[in-house]
Amino acid sequence: MLGLAVTDYIHSSYPDLPEGQLAKLRASVVNTATLAETSARIGIGPILRLGKGEDQSGGRSKESILADALEAVFGAVFLDGGWPRARDLILGLLIDDITTGAERPGRQDYKTRLQELAAERGLGAPTYQISGTGPDHDRRFSAVAMVDSVAHGDGNGTSKKRAEQAAARSAWKAFSADGAAVAASSPENATENLPQPDERSENGSSVLDTNGVGHGST
């Protein structure tokens, strides 16, 4: 049902995208990571009924549980209200992910995005420090994204790949935020809103001459 709703929407909304790109777009939305993120965003984790052991082991934040719970909500809405309501709920929650995925293919691959961003800033290629905990049947991994031997983000996952992606995402967001702050405080932007030499005040007097010296009315 989830796959049907997303597939039907992207095929009708993006008819000019190549078939391969449509498949990638669908995969970028219909996956455990995206569903778990959406589930956490709308607050499903805290209201889950879990066994004591699962609850104590962090089950409310596990990707697989959050994703499954969200799909269960979709199913419940379908049984209660039918296909139109279920479709509207699915698209209402995932439309931003679909739109962003269509505009920026591959957005879920944060390892590649972090590597590209590091290269743009003249930094070395990111590396990842991985550690694992728990029994073999419930293994959890933690990763730290390192750029130029400095930790910039960390993340967790049920596999090394997911942990690395989570760490890369955290680091990419940190780098992006730092870049935006630097750009906003740069001298070029600080002078953007200053009056230009030929600008006039409301009473017709010159605000600045060509040397930037103010004049009063004559």
Query: What is the number of structural domains in the chain?
Result: 2
Instruction: Write down the pTM of the prediction.
Output: 0.57
User: What domain range is 42 assigned to?
Assistant: 2-108
Whether 146 is in a domain gets the answer yes
> 177 vs 77, 126, 173, 181, 205, CA distance in Å?
38, 18, 6, 6, 41
Site of tokens 């600080």: 190
Same domain, yes or no, for 31 and 65?
yes
Q: E strand or H helix at 28, and its extent?
A: helix 19-29
The string of pLDDT tens digits covering residues 158-216 is 778 888 988 998 999 888 877 554 344 444 444 444 444 444 444 444 333 434 444 44
Same domain, yes or no, for 36 and 84?
yes
The string of pLDDT tens digits covering residues 13-24 is 998 888 888 888
The string of pLDDT tens digits covering residues 54-96 is 888 888 888 889 999 999 999 999 999 999 999 999 999 999 8
Residue 147 maps to which CATH number? 3.30.160.20
Report the pLDDT value the prediction gives residue 4, as an integer from 0 to 100: 94
Same domain, yes or no, for 101 and 126?
no
3-state secondary structure 71-96: HHHHHHHHHHHCHHHHHHHHHHHHHH
The string of pLDDT tens digits covering residues 31-46 is 888 898 899 889 999 9
